[in-house]
């Protein structure tokens, strides 16, 4: 319905000299806001819902969380009043994306899952599904859920390729699967596969003609983090250092998760190079950021607690400060028991699926 230019409202939507998508987010928001009063009068509520949802999406991207909820609530007030799987899928995807940015992983997962249900009913699978599956993969990495990562890889192959970022995301999820398996089963040989697929994703970006429009900065930062972690575990300080320089070009330190990941990987790198003061400083910064999480969100970030405390314990052990090292080993054990307790994990995962 959004392509029907015979509707006066939508004719003006496209009277910007081309596709509105090529304007900046603030410019797009102003255009969409100007169309809202007339869109409210249009019979099919999918139109006004899409406008609200897209504005909410852009506000999330701009980190303007104060206004996101207003537009999301406005979009969801029309849920059930129209029959359009594309718009329903878009609504839930953006809501999932919003909660993901707020570190509410369970709400994000729930809305991504519902969005996928709508989008998979369309005659042809839209490229938005690639973004959705990629975001789900970020959650399954946190949960160390290799079975669902395998399922996502199969699902992603069924989505037609429209742009560069889809290739990057597909390779990235394969790299994620190998990284989870290497960590979970202590299989160092899989690190070569982690490196291979993260490198393939980066190579896709390097040869892409649409670098600016692909919007893959966040994805690339995750690829470089994956590469650096693999090289650190292989003990290759030089390769880790080279990729650290590339990571700094793409990582968005305005985002909480990216900054926490950056400090964590810096701490691990400096531990490898035996620059203990720098390592301790970086890891403590990461731990401070984790302490800002709401209590109910902590469980999904236990792997980071373990990673940071393990690294701090290693630093103190290598310096002969055994009492401090033992303190952090106790913390690692505490969070590991919480994370891998079979009964708790089963209950939590069942709830997540529901």
What is the pLDDT at residue 3?
Answer: 57
What is the pLDDT at residue 16?
Answer: 46
8 A C-beta contact, residue 290 and residue 263: no
Give the Cα separation of 5 and 100 in Å (integer).
Answer: 34
Give the Cα separation of 31 and 11 in Å (integer).
Answer: 13
Give the Cα separation of 91 and 157 in Å (integer).
Answer: 24
What are the tens digits of pLDDT across the range 284-312? Answer: 999 999 999 998 898 899 999 999 999 99
8 A C-beta contact, residue 84 and residue 46: yes
How far, rounded to the nearest angstrom, does the alpha carbon of residue 227 sit from its chain's CA centroid?
17
Give the Cα separation of 83 and 85 in Å (integer).
Answer: 7
What is the pLDDT at residue 232?
Answer: 97
What is the pLDDT at residue 12?
Answer: 60
Q: Considering only CA atoms, which of 192, 153, 158, 182 is closest in space to residue 169?
A: 153
CB burial readout 244-270, b (16+ within 10 A) else e: bebbeebbeeeeebbbbbbbbbbbbbb
The answer for residues whose C-beta is within 8 angstroms of residue 292's C-beta and 6 or more apart is 256
Phi, psi of 151 (to 5 degrees): -65, -40
pLDDT along the chain (354 residues), means of 10: 59 56 83 87 86 88 84 92 90 93 93 96 93 95 93 95 86 96 92 97 80 64 96 97 94 90 97 96 96 90 93 95 94 84 52 52
What is the pLDDT at residue 341?
Answer: 66
What is the pLDDT at residue 299?
Answer: 87
What is the pLDDT at residue 239?
Answer: 97
What share of the chain in percent tops pLDDT 70?
A: 87
Compute the half-sphere exposure of residue 77: CA atoms within 13 Å on the CB side of its CA.
9
């Amino acid at each position: 319905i959004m392509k029907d230019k015979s509707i006066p409202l939508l004719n003006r939507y496209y009277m910007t000299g081309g596709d509105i998508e090529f304007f900046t987010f603030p410019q797009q928001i102003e255009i969409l806001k100007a169309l809202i009063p007339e869109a409210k009068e249009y019979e099919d509520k999918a139109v006004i819902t899409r406008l609200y949802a897209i504005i909410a999406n852009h506000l999330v991207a701009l980190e303007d969380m104060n206004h996101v909820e207003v537009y999301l609530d406005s979009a969801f007030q029309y849920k059930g009043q129209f029959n359009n799987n594309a718009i329903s899928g878009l609504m839930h995807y953006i809501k999932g994306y919003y909660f993901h940015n707020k570190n509410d992983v369970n709400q994000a997962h729930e809305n991504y899952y519902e969005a996928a249900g709508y989008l998979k009913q369309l005659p042809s699978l839209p490229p938005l599904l690639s973004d959705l599956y990629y975001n789900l993969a970020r959650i399954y990495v946190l949960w160390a859920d290799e079975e669902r990562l395998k399922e996502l890889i199969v699902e992603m192959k069924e989505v037609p390729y429209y742009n560069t970022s889809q290739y990057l995301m597909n390779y990235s999820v394969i790299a994620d699967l190998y990284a989870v398996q290497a960590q979970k089963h202590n299989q160092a040989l899989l690190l070569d596969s982690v490196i291979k697929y993260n490198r393939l994703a980066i190579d896709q970006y390097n040869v892409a003609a649409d670098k600016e429009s692909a919007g893959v900065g966040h994805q690339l930062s995750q690829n470089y983090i994956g590469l650096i972690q693999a090289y650190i575990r292989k003990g290759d300080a030089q390769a880790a250092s080279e990729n650290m320089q590339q990571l700094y070009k793409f990582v968005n330190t305005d985002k909480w998760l990216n900054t926490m990941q950056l400090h964590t990987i810096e701490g691990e790198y400096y531990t490898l190079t035996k620059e203990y003061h720098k390592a301790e400083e970086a890891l403590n910064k990461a731990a401070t950021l984790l302490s800002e999480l709401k209590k109910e969100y902590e469980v999904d970030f236990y792997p980071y607690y373990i990673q940071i405390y393990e690294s701090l314990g290693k630093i103190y052990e290598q310096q002969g400060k055994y009492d401090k090292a033992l303190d952090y080993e106790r913390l690692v054990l505490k969070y590991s028991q919480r994370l891998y307790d079979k009964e708790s994990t089963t209950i939590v995962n069942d709830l997540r699926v529901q």
